[in-house]
Amino acid sequence: MILRPAIDITKYQDNNGVYTESGRLEMITDTAKEYEIFSERYQDDVLSHHEILGKINSLLSEKTDASHAEICNICESYEYRKLSKIFTDFDRFLSAHIIYQTEKAAGITNNIFSLIKSVDEYVYLKQQTLYLFRRIQMNFPENETSVIFRNILSINPSVFYVLQMLDELCIGNKYAVADGLASYYEKSGYSNEALLIKTFSGKKYENIPINEQKPSVPQHSFISPKKICFITCVNNPLMYEECCYYINKLLVPTGFSIKTIAINDASGMAEGYNRGQSESDADINIFIHQDVCILNPYFIYEIADIFASDNNIGMIGLVGSPVLPPDAVMWHDKRVGNLYFLQPDSLSYDYIPGISVDTHVSVEAIDGFIMICSKKIKWREDIFDGFDFYDISMCEEYLNAGYKIVVPDQPSPWAAHDDGIMKLGMYNKYRLLYLNEYKN
């Protein structure tokens, strides 16, 4: 999969797709202007978001028909919809008023607004629902999946919430998920809900056969077993618990060991990763965001093979830029790799045991959602003390030390990234620091 640029980069390049010297300068100037305008507006948007969030939370606490109607009016306003493109909580709360109005028309008094005390509670419920749907689709054991179902059932959202989530959340085989979900409801004594879910999905979604092949431990050994450590900066326990659930599902080669380190109070990503790295005695440190789930059961085999194939490879990513654009904004030029993220996808993981990566692409930078490192180089917390450009700066450190950075071929994505909307309030500050440190 190639992630396409968000701007027309051809005007900065020659006919061969190479940035011209004048084009490089023009792109840097254009991006600086864009972010200057963005930064001016962003502070106003932050204040507006804070004000509207407080208003919605206050209305939720009132729990009256009038307050609920006012929430619907807010969600349908131009200002709220504009802010929903910038702030993740507003984006994820956006459909709540649709569920409420459907429930109200059906005469349901225990509506979605009466079940939650804040926007954050709704976002939390929705996150749990995504994890439930994904575990059902991945055909994980029922006893490991039903625990999330019971958590959701204890809140007791109506079937209209469930149907909206089936329609809205980014899962691939929705028919199969609905079928599994209906089974959970049936076993819990909610036969009417189970029937409604099956009827709804039967009319709306295609019945795609599920690959139920169980992964078998590959007959593959390594001369030098490795210690593997997953290091994560954590501020959301629910996300991190799900991240670790998938780590614990990975098949581990004989002799290898797996460890996880959580940094709960990081002042910035580089600072947190330095602390985690100092605690680790692993041969391979994997710096992973708390909202990433590794779906490829052979992930450890894959990365061990790549490092064993070339001692000069120091870092592996799953999405990267072969050439970083002159303005250092990764998504302004094409990227390589593969990833499930919160857009419509087809999350049915069908992997054929082969356990070898024949091709990988050398890149200049990788996306920081997962960075797999076989060397120990200090993260530049002296400059990048926030949550932007810590990843690209580390790529520069590796390249300057003479190591290669690669992105492997992934016919099916190896991971899902449940990221929200990027917080770009400080992005330009660190972009300029990066350019000054590495590109001047």
pLDDT digit string (tens) for 129-153?
Answer: 999 999 998 889 999 999 999 999 9
Does residue 346 lie within any of the structural domains?
yes
pLDDT at 213 over 60: no
CA separation for the pair 45, 214 (Å, rounded): 49
pLDDT tier at 215 (50, 70, 90 boundaries)?
A: low
Q: Are residues 124 and 49 in the same domain?
A: no
Whether 72 is covered by a domain: the verdict is yes
Kind and range of the H or E element at 22?
Answer: helix 21-62
Last residue of a domain, one of 204, 237, 266: 204
42 falls in which pLDDT band (50, 70, 90)?
confident
Is 247 a domain residue?
yes
Region 243-264: mean pLDDT is 96
Q: Which domain holds residue 412?
A: 227-439
Instruction: Let me know whether 393 and 313 are in one domain.
Output: yes
Helices (H), 281-333: 299-309
Which candidate, 350, 225, 355, places its Cα nearest to that of 302?
355
Averaged pLDDT, 203-228: 77
274 domain-assigned: yes
Q: Same domain, yes or no, for 88 and 167?
A: no
Query: From start to end of 241-392, where are the E strands?
Result: 257-263, 284-288, 292-294, 313-317, 319-321, 336-337, 340-341, 360-362, 365-366, 370-373
> For the domain that residue 248 is a member of, what is the CATH number?
3.90.550.10
Helix (H) or strand (E) holding 113: helix 112-115
Please state the domain count of the chain.
3
Same domain, 383 and 289: yes
Q: Does some domain include residue 364?
A: yes
CA dist 424 and 388 (Å) reads 9
262 and 408 share a domain? yes
Report the C-alpha gap between 274 and 41 in whole angstroms. Answer: 34
Q: Is the Cβ–Cβ distance between 331 and 6 less than 8 Å? A: yes
Could you give the angle at the alpha carbon of 6 between the alpha carbons of 320 and 131, nearest 5°?
65
In a domain, 216, yes or no: no
Q: Are residues 157 and 282 in the same domain?
A: no
Q: Is 36 found in the same domain as 178?
A: no
Could you tell me if 244 and 174 lie in one domain? no
Model confidence at 17, pLDDT cuts 50, 70, 90, reads confident
Percent of the chain at pLDDT > 70 equals 92
Could you report the per-residue pLDDT of 269-288, keeping only the tens digit for each?
A: 999 999 999 999 999 999 99
435 in any annotated domain: yes
**Average per-residue pLDDT in the chain?**
90
- pTM of the full predicted structure? 0.92
Q: Are residues 328 and 231 in the same domain?
A: yes
The CA-based angle 347-352-353, given to 5 degrees, is 130
Same domain, 299 and 419: yes
**pLDDT class for 216, splitting at 50, 70, 90?**
low
Same domain, 44 and 127: no
- Does the structure show a pLDDT above 60 at 1? no
Q: What is the DSSP-derived secondary structure letter of residue 324?
A: -
- On whether residue 336 sits in a domain, the answer given is yes
Q: Do residue 279 and residue 409 come from a single domain?
A: yes
Pairing of strands 292-294, 415-417: antiparallel
The domain boundary, picked from 44, 79, 94, lies at 94
Ramachandran category for residue 107: left, alpha or beta (phi over 0 → left; psi -120 to 50 → alpha):
left
Q: What is the pLDDT of residues 317-349, one digit of tens each?
A: 999 999 999 999 998 888 888 887 654 333 333
Other CB atoms within a 10 A radius of the CB of residue 356 amount to 12
